[in-house]
Chain A
Amino acid sequence: MSTTTVPRFVRADGPDKVTGSGRYTADLTLTGTLVAKFKYAEVSHARIVRLDVSAARAIPGVFAVLTQDDVPDVRFGPFVQDRTLFARDVVRFEGEIVAAVAAIDVPTAQRALNAIVVEYAPLPVVNDIEEALASDSPLVHEGWSQYGAADVLVRERNDASFASIAKGDVERGLAEADTVVHSRYVADGCHAAPIEPRAVVAQWEGNKVTIWTTTQVPFDARAGVCETLEMPASRVRIIVPHLGGGFGGKCGFHYEAHVAALAKATKRPVRLVFSRREEFIAPDRRREGIVFDFETGVKADGTIVARKVWLAIDNGAYTADAGFFSQLAAMHALGPYQVPNALAEAHLVYTNHQPSGSVRAPTAPQTCWALESHTDEVAKAIGMDPVAFRIKNAVATGKEGPSGQVYDEIGLVDCIEAATARAGYGDDLPDDEAIGVAIGWWPSFSAASGAYVKIDGDGSGQIITGAQECGTGAVMTLRQLVADELGMQPEDFELVYQDTSAAPYDMGATGSQTLFNNGRAAIAAAGQIAEQLKQLAADMLEASPADIVLADGAASVAGTPSRSVPIAELAGIAAGGELLIGHGSGVPPTVQEVSGAMCIGDVGMTAWVAPQFSCHAVRVKLDKDTGVARVLHVSTAHDSGTIINRIGATGQVEGGVMMGIGQALTEGTRYNDEGQQRNAALLEYKLQTCADAPPIDIHFVEINTPNAGPRGAKGLAEAPNVATAAAIANAIAKIAGTPIRQLPMTAERVWETMNTEGSPA
């Protein structure tokens, strides 16, 4: 399906994963391992009036039952310190942990859970994002003003983070527009839904703990354990066996501390393995629901003169890592457009729902869906083709974006032209089919990162990295970068990774940053070895190190290939003297300063380093009698800078598109009146299957990007997930004759819209 030729690339972890010989966290058994289980609140908002675990503790085979009384009383959270390991006094969502049990086996653990006595006095459930913002709404956190929080956050009652971006004079811009279009959209929350449910195994030796866990961010998980159990980092070791997907859901710090505390209390190894239901209700990572209100003013010639956006994000009961979502969503709501007069106001609102947190391109797919649906409404209102409208207003090289950032070399317009041309945009189609188009953007994240490389005496190498492989193949690609640097083959290198005590820091599989930052580190580490090899070869071949070339597994004198020595031979020499060891980190790319806009609640999200752009053009067939939409073909074009590993990049786009189709059509959390999830199961929460996958055409616009990652690469893992749902929406709107204002655009919602708004095609 990809149109590019793909070189051979065998993932280092591929054979293990496909043959079943690989080990995941839930596969680990240590002698004497106990089973961990959690007692959840089950109610969405209540005061604990009685919590008695004595009967549970008395059950034979129960080794420990822990509550907040048994752990350091620490409030934690990366942006707002609003959470404790176990509920303290009040429970604020159904998946909040009240107690944890370690027992000899599952039935005993289950009996212990049943024997825990907990009585609640109900509190009013905050179940609606907009109502939560009302001045008379019940508070999710009575003590919100007392919490520690990042200084930049603007907080008030249920609003955990308000952010705005203001540029020019939006009211004057709207007044001067020839046409102003007003739209409202609502996106439901949804899930990362990795196929591997979470698992944690913890074991103490002396005062040190080793934790095997399904995290995407081992160092962050370690920091969480250190903070909540009050330990120095040196005594906590996090190891991640193979990770069975994450999609952002396994970012952050989750249950490592609970299991470590159980293991400490019982003096035994303890293992936690989540059920699918727990995977749905408990983690503080799911994609946030958002309510949007847009106003865009345009001139008759199609020039955007002003855009005003108000949006409110469902934070859920605790803030987790969502503190930056309001400003990020504000950027996505203004979009990759030239908007001279802009105002975006975004609220991150506490509710009694499961907490939101980074899931693949947080805030972006649903905000892109809303903005791009609105954009088609604007184009339609002035009778302009929506693609021409986008090309006219899109940000481009040297132009200023909505936050005042002026862009270096970028390829958004190239993406629009490529994706639409390859989709056959404009060709005649049956009246139940249409092509919808949407554009998206996403930052690259610049961060510190480290790696070691060593080559042993036999000439085989190891890359020892703090980076985490969550399935994207980014860590796998490090072999290619290092091999290229040393004139060797990727297969010459083994990866040692996902162990905080073996490797230097990396931020983890988050923010599409692995190759962007750890690639730089690995190249720097390999570069040190290259210098060593060149010196060794120069001594042996009686040449200057500057004239030595490393290629095809040998070091040779430039221009004189006959004067050459195999790298393996040099490694043998080094093994008896100064060892071949390199360490690297490198300087992260710097973010441009932006002065064009006024921002309240600024968390540094308005100027993006190496921004990525995309355009998706999707052909959809709509069964008008039932509202069932089927995606027939997806054409994608991405500017993610230089593509280093084409087969890996292709996989990311395919996966991102499939996730986008699910978000568009079938994936959405439904709540009952009590704020509990109604579809916390894979039969009722419908992921897309292989059988649903349409042909996906993949095109990369490779622009020479300054100030980017290795070889001009940008990130790629999240960007392909941004524009798909929006493009599907625009196709459905064309066939249905009207946009569908709620995401996911389920068959029933499409049918309802076509049959109640009185504007069928």
Chain B
Amino acid sequence: MSFTIATTIDEALQALATGARPVAGGSDLVVGARHGKAPLPEHLVAIDRISELQCIDVTDLGVCIGAGVNHHIIEHHPLLSNAFAGLSDGSALVGSPSTRNVGTLGGNVMNSSPAMDTGSPLMVLGAEAELRSLRGSRRVGMADLWTGPGRHSAEADELCVAIHIAMPASRSNSAYLRLEYRRSMEIAVVGAAAAVTIADDGSVSAVRVALTAVAPTIIEVTGIGLGSVAEVAAAAAAAASEQARPISDVRASDKYRRHTVGVMARRAVEAAARRALGEPVSVPVNRAAGIGAAS
């Protein structure tokens, strides 16, 4: 058993190369171990004090969010919550204030739960994870990263150092909603994110929709036709319900999940469209739209 505190990415990569597992906020790793999901790894390297992982770099081309940035920061960051509002919607729903202050974006992504709240937004935003090891660096799209519940395609010695997202086109924005039974300390029963671009005539010229907690991984909905916002929202709802592969468990039946994921998809398209048109829709949309949480 060893515990290394890394202060640079290089130190962390050295530790990973010798078999250590990274721990960022520990809100999945440690909590999971306590609940008997998997024992704590023999060798841990703490990456929460690596300042290089805390950056949010914005250029005209896009944004690079360090893997160590926590959900509280993503929720409240002025640029992210405007231009990448769907991601901020997701981070704003994580756990409770204390969870959002310790839980990181990198931890959420690499934990690879099908119920993770930043997953669908990252998918519809076309995000890429930057994975680095002593062997080099590469970028992987979300669809290639997540391979199953709690599983991803990164090698054991690879650290996720950042998430890269291209700047959305003009008149574009995103939104993420989840079905929740209470306002805090909740897990997505189902969720959906949408990224939408609105043409000059007010119709939808591009749309992407991804779904949370209805398949072994976050999945992207395919084959949504274009048209008016209402038409696209309806098409997204129908496609989401059809393409979802939900399970039945103590939280919800597959039938109910299949129905509600369509509702979430429709509302996500509607909210993303309103944002794309410059209407203020506060983060998280859940509170604004009243899903389990109207105020």
Chain A residues near B (Cβ < 8 Å): 621, 623, 625-626, 628, 630, 632, 665-666, 670, 678-679, 681-684, 686, 688-692, 746-748, 751-752
Contact B292 A747 (CB under 8 A): yes
Return 13 A-B CB contacts under 8 Å, by A number.
A623-B294, A625-B263, A626-B291, A626-B292, A628-B181, A630-B292, A630-B294, A632-B294, A666-B182, A682-B185, A686-B181, A690-B184, A691-B184
CB-contact partner of B290 in A630, A678, A683, A746, under 8 A: A630
List residues of B (13-63) whose CB comes within 8 Å of A's CBs: 35
Give chain A residues whose Cβ lies under 8 Å from the Cβ of B245: none
For the complex of A and B, the 10 pairs showing the least CB-CB separation, nearest first, are A691-B184, A691-B183, A689-B184, A628-B292, A625-B263, A748-B256, A678-B250, A621-B294, A679-B250, A692-B183
Contacts of A752 in B (CB 8 A): 256
Report the Cα distance A679→B291, complex, angstroms.
23
| Cβ B263 vs Cβ A692 within 8 A | no
Once the chains bind, are A626 and B251 in contact (CB under 8 Å)? no
Residues of B within 8 A of A686 (CB): 181-182, 186
The answer to whether A623 touches B292, judged by C-beta atoms less than 8 angstroms apart, is yes
Do A688 and B182 contact each other (CB < 8 Å), given the known contacts A625-B263, A626-B263, A751-B256?
A: yes
- In the bound assembly, the distance between CA atoms of A625 and B192 in angstroms comes to 15
Evaluate contact between A689 and B183: CB separation under 8 angstroms: yes
C-alpha spacing A630/B290, complex, angstroms? 9
Contacts of B294 in A (CB 8 A): 621, 623, 630, 632
Question: B181, A689: Cβ atoms under 8 Å?
Answer: no
CB pair A689–B251 under 8 Å, yes or no, is no
* B260 A626 Cβ-Cβ under 8 A: yes
Say whether B252 faces chain A, with CB atoms less than 8 Å apart: yes
Contact of A691 among B182, B187, B251 (CB under 8 A): B182
* B291 contacts A748, C-beta separation under 8 Å: no
| Bound CA–CA A681/B187 (angstroms) | 13
Q: Any chain A CB within 8 A of the CB of B222?
A: no
Q: Mark B202-241, 1 if CB is under 8 A from A, else 0.
A: 0000000000000000000000000000000000000000
Contact A689–B96 (Cβ < 8 Å)? yes
- Chain B residues near A (Cβ < 8 Å): 35, 96, 179-187, 250-253, 256, 259-260, 263, 290-294
A686 to B189, CA, bound (A): 13
Contact B293 A630 (CB under 8 A): yes
Chain A residues with Cβ below 8 Å from B182 are: 666, 686, 688-689, 691-692
Which chain B residue shows the least CB distance to A689? Answer: B184
Q: Which residues from B are CB-within-8-Å of A692?
A: 182-184
Within 8 Å CB of B251, what residues of A? 684
Question: Shortest beta-carbon distance, B58 to chain A, in Å?
Answer: 31
- Complex Cα gap A678–B186 (Å): 18
CB-based nearest B residue for A670: B250
With A and B bound together, what is the CA distance between A752 and B35 in angstroms? 32
Instruction: Identify A751's interface contact among B186, B250, B259, CB under 8 A.
Output: B259
CA distance A751 to B186 in the complex (A): 20
How far, in whole Å, are A474 and B180 apart by their CA atoms in the complex?
36
Chain A residue nearest to B252 (CB atoms) is A748
Q: Which B residues touch A751, using CB under 8 A?
A: 256, 259-260
Chain B residues with CB below 8 A from A682, complex form:
185
Complex contact A628–B179 (CB within 8 A): yes
Please tell me if the beta carbons of A683 and B291 are within 8 angstroms of each other in the complex: no
Residues of B within 8 A of A688 (CB): 182
Within the complex, what minimum Cβ distance (angstroms) separates B288 from chain A? 13
**A683 and B187 contacting across the interface, CB-CB below 8 Å:** yes
Kindly list chain A residues whose C-beta atoms are within 8 Å of the C-beta of B35: 681
Known: A621-B290, A623-B294. 8 other contacts (CB 8 A): A628-B180, A628-B291, A628-B292, A628-B293, A630-B294, A670-B250, A691-B96, A747-B292
What are the residues of chain B within 8 A of A632 when measuring CB–CB?
294
- The distance from the CB of A274 to the nearest CB of chain B, in whole angstroms, is 15
Complex Cα gap A632–B186 (Å) = 19
Q: How far is the CA of A679 from the CA of B250 in the complex (A)?
A: 7
In the docked arrangement, what's the CA distance between A623 and B252, Å? 16
- Distance in Å: Cβ of B213 to nearest Cβ of chain A: 13
Give A690's nearest chain B residue, CB to CB. Answer: B184
* Cα(A683)–Cα(B252), bound, Å: 13
Residue on A with the closest CB to B257?
Answer: A748
Q: Which residues of B are found within 8 Å of A626, using beta-carbon distances?
A: 179, 260, 263, 291-292
CA distance A621 to B185 in the complex (A): 21
Q: How far is the CA of A666 from the CA of B182 in the complex (A)?
A: 8
Are A684 and B181 interface neighbours, CB within 8 A?
no
How far is A684 from B294 in the complex, measured between Cα atoms in Å?
Answer: 22
Task: Identify which of B181, B187, B252, B294 gathers the most chain A CB atoms within 10 Å of its CB.
Answer: B181
Q: Contact check, A748 vs B253: say whether CB atoms are below 8 A apart.
A: yes
Chain B's closest residue to A746 (CB) is: B181
How many angstroms from the CA of A748 to the CA of B248 in the assembled complex? Answer: 12
* Interchain nearest-CB distance for A643 vs B (Å): 31
In Å, the complex CA distance between A621 and B35 comes to 35
> CB-CB < 8 A to B263: which residues of A?
625-626
Docked Cα-Cα span, A630 to B253, in Å, equals: 21
A628 to B186 Cα, complex, angstroms: 14
With the chains together, A755 CA to B27 CA distance in Å?
39
Distance (whole angstroms) from the CB of A692 to the closest CB of chain B: 5
Q: Which residues of A contact B96 (CB under 8 A)?
A: 689, 691
What A residues does B293 contact at CB under 8 A? Answer: 628, 630
Interface hub of A626, A628, A688 (most chain B Cβ within 10 A) = A626
- For the complex formed, measure the closest distance between the CB of B108 and the CB atoms of chain A, giving whole angstroms: 17
Chain B's closest residue to A688 (CB) is B182
Q: How far is the CB of B55 from chain A (nearest CB, A)?
A: 30
Bound: A243/B260 CA distance, A: 42
Task: Give the Cβ gap from A684 to chain B, nearest Cβ, in Å.
Answer: 5
What residues of chain A lie closer than 8 Å to B186, measured between beta carbons? 686
Given the interface pairs A623-B294, A628-B181, the reply to whether A684 lies near B256 with Cβ below 8 Å is: no
- Complex-state Cα separation, A630 to B293, whole angstroms: 6
Interface centre among B35, B96, B256 (most CB of A within 10 A): B256
Instruction: Compute how far the CA of A554 lies from the CA of B158 in the bound complex, rounded to whole angstroms.
Output: 77
CB of B189, distance to nearest CB on chain A (Å): 8
* Nearest neighbor of B267 in chain A, beta-carbon distance: A625
Contacts of B250 in A (CB 8 A): 670, 678-679, 684
- Known contacts A630-B290, A751-B259; is-contact A666 B187 (Cβ 8 Å): no
CA distance A751 to B181 in the complex (A): 13
A174, B31: Cα distance in complex, Å: 58
State A625–B183 Cα separation when bound (angstroms). 18
Q: Which of B35, B250, B252 has the most CB of A within 10 A?
A: B250
User: B107 CB to closest chain A CB, in angstroms?
Assistant: 18
Q: Which of B181, B185, B290 contacts A747 (CB 8 A)?
A: B181
Name B187's closest neighbour in chain A (CB-CB): A683
Least CB distance from A525 to B in Å reads: 45
